[in-house]
Chains A and B, each alone.
Chain A
Amino acid sequence: MAEPFLIGEAMTGGYGGADILHNCTIAVEKGEIAVIVGPNGAGKSTAMKAVFGMLKLRMGQVRLQGEDITALSPQARVTKGMGFVPQTSNIFPSMTVEENLEMGAFIRKDDIRTTMEQIYDLFPILRDKRRQAAGELSGGQRQQVAVGRALMTKPKVLMLDEPTAGVSPIVMDELFDRIIEIARTGISILMVEQNARQALNIADKGYVLVQGENRYTDTGQALLADPDVRKSFLGG
């Protein structure tokens, strides 16, 4: 099998103390969407944070385009082309939408206006609100700011920790559409989702985690069709 674009392979580790992840493998191909689902406390977010370098792995490896990046800090991974959108506190609330985007591009030294225009095209509402403080926006709009901020570095991989947490179903569909659009531009998407059914629907690859281990791994459609997965994780 060819090397995936980004892979966290056989990851074992936790936040000190007991391990949360046990031999867990997460991978995403170029321009594809990979989704991590599973019950509460399955270690979904932890797996994603492990891939991004936010916790120390005892065993296993993270590789981006074949390069071992296990030892790199999250910031160093950002320079390598990884973008991360945390689940909460993912914006600068007192700064304007435009300033949020500018801060996202802090490490870039070149002209950021084109990227900013692209993000405004992707999320037109942000263009209208660009002079407004991000903290004053609605939940869905804040998520758009958060995703936009992460896109400002022109990442090759975008990692999203529950992007639809706390937004209405309509906004959720809208966000998923935008995420598909982002993937079409060639950016790989790795996301953790609570809304498993909808997320698997758009996923090229799905990972069902239970207690920090891979339980099922398949294409999104195959997982949706699997009776065991449906019964145990998708409510029938």
Chain B
Amino acid sequence: MEPLNALVSVSNFMLIPALAYGSQLALGALGITLIYSILRFAHFAHGDTMALGTAAVIGGTLFLQARGIGIDPLPTALLAVPFGILIMSAYLLAADRLVYRYYRKVKAKPMIFVMASLGVMFITNGITRLFMGVGETRFEDGARFLFTVREFREWSGLAEGMALRSSQALTIVTALIVMVALFWFLNRTRAGKSMRAYSDNEDLALLSGINPERVVMITWVITAILLVLAGTLYGLDKGFRPFNYFQLLLPMFAAAILGGLGSPLGAIVGAYVVAFAEMGITYAWRRVFTYLMPEGLEPTSMMQLLPVDYKFAVTFAILVIVLLFRPTGIFKGKVL
């Protein structure tokens, strides 16, 4: 038995990637949960606006790279993130002005909002493809690894190796900083508190002199920050493909609903649960168990519950189970 080797193996292939993926989902799910609690609808355009935001960042990155500006060993994309946030804030505020504000004024049902956001999704998707095409774009530069498998092996003397890609480390650290900043904003600042008040009791917020349009505006800008970061980190980690971003919609919604819609903490917890479930169930555990089981009892199969292609089925199953048995989610959010 070699538990240390098992741990290293599972960290390398499962824990670290899941942690990074979970952080990316968490940033996305936070945006969904914020929009749900302030604007009170499920923002279906989230995945595609994330793609457009990333496209803007890629544009900025190419511009900077062409001029030889970089922040090696960190990826140049980080430098382009503020530009992406600016573009997406403008884009989302424009979408709000042109589409959502009208439905707010006529006090449309949430389902109508959802359909409107579906329309925005298709348009956004079209714009992204116009600029980026449908293929994959890689825009990662700078140092690829914090440490490689070989370096780790030499350092630890273990048979198994572990690598930490810089995009993964960057994702985890950035997500942590953003989450702390977001909680600080929501709980400590006047604007943040007014958002929570508006989410809690719209009419009373109005009576207290809180301007709803301002709250809505702040929400969109925060959403822009969250989704540009989420999209950029995901793209650095796995490459940029518009269709993949659209597909992220499912795990992001599953995370927000699992955590409890409207609860930021829930969105984060939900995101990691979804990420670890997706990775854990589609991971081939054979190697880990080979290290863990006594000699002669090593597994002969792959010990993989589902092929990787089915990872969205896992998310979907989580979503169905939550909606059936605990529709308010872990942290008692609102019922969709």
A interface residues (Cβ-Cβ under 8 A, vs B): 74-75, 78-79, 84, 86, 89-95, 99, 102-104, 106-107, 149, 153
Contacts and interface: CB of A to CB of B under 8 A. Distances in A.
Interface in B184-210: 190, 193-194, 196-197, 199-201, 203-210
Contact of B196 (A75, A79, A91, A95): A95
Judged by DSSP, the binding face of B is: helix
B206 A74 contact: yes
B18 to A, nearest CB: 31
Contact of A93 (B201, B203, B209): B201
A92 B209 contact: no
Interface in B47-78: none
Q: Which of B194, B196, B200, B206: most chain A CB closer than 10 A?
A: B200
Contacts of B206: 74-75
Interface residues of B, number: 16
B203 A86 contact: yes
A86 B204 contact: yes
A94 B209 contact: no
A92 B200 CA distance: 5
Contacts, number: 56
A106 B209 contact: yes
Given A86-B203, A90-B204, A75 B209 contact: yes
A86 B199 CA distance: 18
Given A103-B193, A103-B194, A93 B200 contact: yes
14 contacts: A75-B207, A89-B201, A93-B201, A94-B196, A94-B199, A94-B200, A99-B193, A103-B193, A103-B205, A103-B208, A103-B210, A106-B197, A106-B208, A106-B210
Given A75-B209, A78-B209, A149-B208, A103 B203 contact: no
Contacts of A79: 209
Nearest to B199: A94
A78 B209 CA distance: 8
The 9 A-B pairs with the shortest beta carbon distances in the complex, nearest first, are: A107-B209, A92-B200, A103-B197, A106-B208, A106-B209, A92-B197, A103-B208, A94-B200, A92-B201
A78 B205 CA distance: 12
A149 B203 CA distance: 14
